[in-house]
Amino acid sequence: MKKNTKCPLRKSLRRILLYRGSLLRLQALGVNRFYSYTLGKETGVSAEQVRKDFSEYRIKGNQRGGYHVDQLISEMEHIFYKKGSQNIIVVGRGNIGSSLANYSNFIQRQINIVATFDIDPSKQRIRSEIPVYTMERLKEIIDRFAVRTAIVAVPEPAAQSVCDQLVEYGVGGIINFAPVILKVPDEVIINNINLSDEIESVIYCVSQACPEES
CA angle 144, 150, 156 (to 5 degrees): 130
For its own copies, the closer of residues 3 and 209 by Cβ is 209
d(CA 187, CA 46): 33
For DNA, the closer of residues 22 and 98 by Cβ is 22
For DNA, the closer of residues 56 and 139 by Cβ is 56
Per partner kind, with CB cut-offs from 5 to 8 A, the member of its own copies, DNA, none near residue 146 is none
Binding map of DNA across residues 64-103, x = CB under 7 A, - = no contact: xxxx------------------------------------
Per partner kind, with CB cut-offs from 5 to 8 A, the member of its own copies, DNA, none near residue 25 is its own copies
Using CB under 7 A, which of 54, 117, 133, 177 touches DNA?
A: 54
Using CB under 7 A, which of 22, 26, 36, 90 touches DNA?
A: 36
Q: Is 51 in the site for DNA (CB under 7 A)?
A: yes
Using CB under 7 A, which of 32, 48, 121, 206 touches DNA?
A: 48
d(CA 182, CA 202): 24
d(CA 95, CA 56): 38
Q: Kindly determine how many residues on this chain lie close enough to bind DNA according to the rule CB under 7 A.
A: 29
3-state secondary structure (DSSP) of residue 187: coil
Q: Residue 120: which H helix or E strand, with range?
A: none
Per partner kind, with CB cut-offs from 5 to 8 A, the member of its own copies, DNA, none near residue 129 is none
Q: Is 194 in the site for DNA (CB under 7 A)?
A: no
For DNA, the closer of residues 16 and 96 by Cβ is 16
Contact 162, 90 (CB under 8 A): no
- DSSP codes, 45-99: --HHHHHHHHHHTT---BTTTBEEHHHHHHHHHHHH-TT-SEEEEEE--SHHHHH
Residues forming beta bridges with residue 62, ordered by sequence position: 66
Q: Beginning with the edge strand found earlier in the chain, give each strand of the sheet holding 132-133 in spatial order.
A: 132-133, 111-117, 86-91, 149-152, 173-176, 189-192
Q: Can you give the binding site for DNA, defined by CB under 7 A?
A: 2-6, 10-12, 35-37, 45-49, 51-52, 54-55, 59-67
